Amino acid sequence: MRSWAIASREISAMLAEKSFILIVLLELLLVSSSGLLSVGYVLLTSPESSTTLNDLSRLVYVGIVTQTPEDFSVELSRNKVHHTFYRSVDVAKKDFRQGLIDAIIIGDIDRGPPPSVIRVYLPDNSPKTALTKLALKKVFVSMEEDLRQDKLSAHAPGIELASYKIMNYKPQARYMEIYYIFTLPLLLFLPTVISGSLAIDSITQDLESKRMLNLILAPLKPAQIVFGKAIGSFALSIFQSVLWLSILSATFVSPKNHLWLMFLVGIYTVIFINAGSILALYLQKMRSSQILYTFFSMSAISLFSPFANLHPLLLYMSPSYMITRLAMGSPPLVFAGQFAILLTIAALTTLVVLFAAPRVSRL
Amino acid sequence: MLPRFLVISKYELKQYRASIADEAIILLVLLAGFMMLMTPEVEQSLLPSSHKIYRIGYLEGSVIGEIDSYTLDFVPYQDKYEMMYASNIEKIDAFAIMGRDKMVFFGSGTKKSESALNQLNLQMKDFNMHLVAERALAEPHLSGILLPLRLDIVGEEIDYLAAMNGTVDMQRKQLLGARRAEEVQEAQKLNEGPAPELVISTQASMESEDLPEPAPIQAAETEESLSLPAELAVEFPFKTLYKNMTLLSPLIMLSILLSLSLSKERIDRNMENLFIAPLSRWEIVLGKSLPYMAVMAALSLAFGFQATMTAQALKVALVFAALSATMLSFSLFSVVISRSYRELTFIGSFALFAFFFFIVLPNVFSGVNVLAFISPLDTVTSIENGAMIPYTDIFLSLLPYLFMSMFFTTFAGICFNPELMFASRDFYALLNYFYEALSRMMGHRHLFVVAAVSLLVPFIFIIESILAYLVLPMGFFAPIISLILLATVEELTKIVPFHFQRMNPLKYGLIAGASFFLCEKMFNLYLVYKVYSFLGGPYAYFLSRMAPTLLVHMASTSVFAILVYYGKRRIWYVLGLFISVIMHVIYNVAVLRGAI
């Protein structure tokens, strides 16, 4: 009960400051820009499937030196790639080196049994090369498919190749996916990280300004002071996760396993608050505690990135992996091992906080 | 005898020397950037959250079982009906059944299933190609038929600056048109006949000595250097993004350290001693910031030479130094406006993510989309790719950030006094104080309006950049939504100084509108040069119609100011905003439609 008194004081102060609105604003920015993030994500991971990039093929200019221009012209036009046929390789190279064309294609299409070898000049020193490659890849893959069919019917009619069909398939942007794999995990995890930082602020500010003295003199146990201060941060984190789960549930995202997600957020929050409290209690200074905590939290956030692919343990313990899978409806029991590890960490860090709590009186 | 501000710097450094832990952490922070650059690259750029997120059912024994995918989890079933039932209860997102001559995939009909099918399509394209390649390997006589196209990729240096210049787009069309015309003329001469179709004429008129040498089928050894179209690796500048983030992190940490240090002085009231000492406020701020500025400058220079060992390194260093200045000035600003450590954490977290959105994220689009020009890091990427970026480009891309630094520093300088630092005033009260002080500093009200409005314009630049982000995925509706949002943001910003410092509303409207117009156009120089020319079309109208734009800015601000001045209730603010935004939007739409 006495911890609640401290907690309510902390929450009142937080509400009075109104600056927590900035965090909600930040999260709002994250949600609203998810569409764009999906563009960036697809661009980084599988550029071939990016509709944005496909539309940008018209920014690519290609020069061609060939004796079979029709074969190239059809596919390049279909993919909206600007193209010009040159008679001389030297002239094409001159234009290429001056940046007038983004690539040169040299070679002819052979419809006989041997393969056609096409030489492609691409710039070594331009970030636009990726876009040019993408446009050319689409063109060449398409040309290859058509050419294979022609050659098979002309030279090897009995051969059948593997093929597939997807029923009711319509290509679409991967907007929804980004909400599950990026936006939702970040929305749920970010407040837990910030809660640890707030715990540090709450303890060290009172220690450095000597206001902790008032609390020490009150009939409170050190652990009650520390946990009382932590409750405010915990409540803010949980409030935010409830808020975003409710908002996203009302949209097309509709995450599953709400309670388990809340439970997971709760465990993470406890771990981060405990980590922050331990640092604040041992270092007693805001600056040192915050710097160390930043390293700690950044390491945890790095598990959201492809770094987690370095080892299966990192991958399966990645918060984003767990949150996404739970939100997409995986049975919670699949994560029994991860939950057990996280609960153990939470319990152990809580014990350390209890052990370190008397340090609040070291003013 | 050290200058007085250097004494403060010495005192600041001493704080770190007092604690070995602090020293070690700082050293780690400074080395972090370079350490990260040495870490091995991660092959997979896929996020761990996307690992096996879609479940695809297949019948045991099917070739599907051989597929190894990061995103798709292939689940074997023994019975077809069991698999279909699993799809019905959404246990799996799609399933595969072998048809008469092909594999047929069925989705479960959910949104998630649609995404799964998208991924599946990509995966199956690769897998089919893999099967074809395997067969070509097993039956070499079919190789040229099954894999009819081989690519010999050759990398060459180009005049990068010309290639990346937005204005080259039109030139290219014209020059390529001219090249075609030349070839048509030559064809006419050679054939002495009428000019055939442009593209075909090229082929028809080729002289034997001008023809490219027929591409020979490569010998077996060289064939290994050839690639298949599907193997053409498309890598987007992930490494650039990762690298620039890595380099920025020590700079961010240093600016955080400054804000933590100043905040500590404020909370434990050590700052009172500094205010009592015979030091001006600027000396205190400069003395405190100097150690961080020095380290950031050294790091910026190191980053420059890390990017390139040419004279261009100084340009890269300039970009990082200017970003450091923005971060440091924001640190000062955040300390002045935050009343507790907690507020500092909230503001810092917000700033960190905002920084990521404006500076780092646009870098992904480098060379791909005009959005990249929003970030000054685009010039760094260009230099890393061998471009000779002129100093004017560097300066123009940094201008909004330099102006923003000016605002933050001016604000922090004015509000950094004992009265405000220990009174815990809220941001509104601080803004009120700031505008009052700025009004006194400027001496004349007209000058005040010019200064106050000009200092706010960089924020418009940033907000408009955010809006560009937000409306981008809206496709068809993006232009009109962005016009309304941009007009609202601009009208609101122009009225902020008037809200705090009342004066003749008509005069305010005219001066604020004109100041805003001039400052905005100055900031947009870079975008005008880079982006607008890239997009061409409607934007050219804005440039050719400067005078009406100026008048609209003046008129809309005047209307808003008059309504705010004479209206006694808050509803007049809403009405003023509504009318000024309508005026603004109507003008923009009229310009876009070519009516003006």
Domains and CATH numbers, chain A: 2-32+174-361 (no CATH), 52-155 (3.40.190)
Task: List the single residue in B111, B131, B155 with the smallest CB-CB distance to A124.
Answer: B155
φ, ψ of residue B425 in degrees (nearest 5): -80, 150
Q: Do A325 and B472 touch (CB under 8 A)?
A: no
Interface size, chain A vs chain B, as Cβ–Cβ contacts under 8 Å: 449
Examine the pLDDT at A163 and tell me if it is beyond 60. yes
Window 263-282 of A: residues touching B by CB (8 A cutoff) are none
Task: List the single residue in B149, B253, B344 with the smallest CB-CB distance to A144.
Answer: B149
* Of the listed ranges A29-33, A118-122, B504-508, the one predicted with least confidence: A29-33
pLDDT at A271 (0 to 100):
96
Average pLDDT over residues A211-217: 84
Sign of the CA dihedral A289, A27, A335, A234? positive
Q: Do A147 and B149 touch (CB under 8 A)?
A: yes
Distance from CA of A134 to the nearest CA of B (A): 6
pLDDT at A208 (0 to 100):
84
Window 367-406 of B: residues touching A by CB (8 A cutoff) are 367-369, 381-382, 385-387
Residue A122: its H or E element: strand A116-123
Whether residue A16 lies within 8 A of chain B, CB to CB, comes out as no
Window 450-479 of B: residues touching A by CB (8 A cutoff) are 466, 469-470, 472-474
pLDDT at B409 (0 to 100):
92
Please write down the HEC assignment for all residues of A147-202: HHHHHHHHHCCCCCCCCEEECCCCCCCCHHHHHHHHHHHHHHHHHHHHHHHHHHHH
If one compares A96 and A45, the residue with the highest pLDDT of the two is A96
Beta bridge partners of A106: A65, A119
Q: Do B25 and A295 touch (CB under 8 A)?
A: yes
Distance from CA of A330 to the nearest CA of B (A): 9
Task: List the single residue in B25, B90, B150 with the smallest CB-CB distance to A291.
Answer: B25
In three-state secondary structure terms, A83 is strand
Task: List the single residue in B22, B169, B238 with the smallest CB-CB distance to A288.
Answer: B22
Helix residue ranges, H only, A209-335: 212-217, 222-249, 258-283, 286-302, 312-317, 319-327
Tokens 């050894």 -> residue: B221
State which residue of chain A sits closest to B474, comparing Cα positions: A35
The verdict on ipTM greater than 0.95 is no
* Residue A208: both structure tokens together: 């450095």
Q: Do A43 and B346 touch (CB under 8 A)?
A: no
Rounded Cα gap, residues A320 and A184, in angstroms? 9
pLDDT tens, residue by residue, A247-285: 888 776 788 899 999 999 999 999 999 999 999 999 888
Rounded Cα gap, residues B479 and B470, in angstroms? 11
Mean pLDDT of chain A: 84
Q: State the burial class of residue B590 (Cβ atoms within 10 Å of its Cβ: 0-12, 13-18, 19+).
A: middle
pLDDT at A355 (0 to 100):
94
Residues of chain A in contact with residue B73, where contact means CB-CB under 8 angstroms, are: none
Answer yes or no: are the C-beta atoms of B522 and B399 closer than 8 Å: yes
Q: Do B42 and A29 touch (CB under 8 A)?
A: no
pLDDT at A24 (0 to 100):
75
Residues of chain B in contact with residue A186, where contact means CB-CB under 8 angstroms, are: none
pLDDT tens, residue by residue, A290-341: 888 887 888 888 788 777 888 889 999 999 999 999 998 889 999 999 999 9
Window 249-308 of B: residues touching A by CB (8 A cutoff) are 253, 256-257, 260-261, 263-264, 267-269
In three-state secondary structure terms, A295 is helix
pLDDT at B215 (0 to 100):
46
Report which of A265, A267, A291, A266 is spatially closest to residue A279, judged by C-alpha positions.
A291
pLDDT at A98 (0 to 100):
79
- Convert B273-283 to b/e letters by CB count within 10 Å (16 or more is b): ebeeeebebeb
* Residue B570: both structure tokens together: 């808050």
- Cα–Cα distances (Å) from B133 to A134, B136, B138, B222, in that order, read 21, 5, 9, 18
Whether residue A234 lies within 8 A of chain B, CB to CB, comes out as no
Distance from CA of B322 to the nearest CA of A (A): 24
Report which of A223, A172, A153, A217 is spatially closest to residue A51, judged by C-alpha positions.
A172
Whether residue B326 lies within 8 A of chain A, CB to CB, comes out as no
pLDDT of chain B, 596 residues: tens digit per residue: 567 778 888 888 887 777 776 777 777 766 665 655 555 454 456 788 888 889 999 998 888 888 888 889 999 999 999 999 999 988 899 999 987 778 899 988 887 888 888 888 888 888 888 888 888 888 888 888 888 999 998 888 776 655 555 555 556 666 566 665 666 566 556 555 443 333 333 333 333 344 444 444 444 445 667 888 888 776 655 556 667 777 787 888 889 889 988 888 887 778 888 888 888 888 888 899 999 999 999 989 988 888 788 888 999 999 999 999 999 999 999 999 988 888 888 888 888 777 777 787 777 667 666 667 778 888 888 887 777 778 877 888 888 888 889 999 999 989 988 888 877 788 889 999 999 999 998 888 899 999 999 888 888 877 776 666 666 555 566 667 778 888 898 899 999 999 998 899 999 999 999 999 888 877 766 655 554 444 444 444 455 567 788 888 999 999 999 998 988 788 888 899 999 999 988 888 887 676 66
Whether residue A13 lies within 8 A of chain B, CB to CB, comes out as yes
Distance from CA of A221 to the nearest CA of B (A): 24
Window 106-145 of B: residues touching A by CB (8 A cutoff) are 106-107, 111-112, 114-115, 117-118, 120-122, 124, 128, 131-132, 135, 142-145
Q: Do A29 and B346 touch (CB under 8 A)?
A: no
Within a 10 A sphere around the Cβ of B236, how many other Cβ atoms? 26
Phi-psi region of B90 (alpha: psi -120 to 50; beta: other; left: phi over 0): left
Task: List the single residue in B153, B205, B345 with the smallest CB-CB distance to A120.
Answer: B153
In three-state secondary structure terms, A305 is coil
Q: Do A308 and B48 touch (CB under 8 A)?
A: yes
pLDDT at B548 (0 to 100):
81
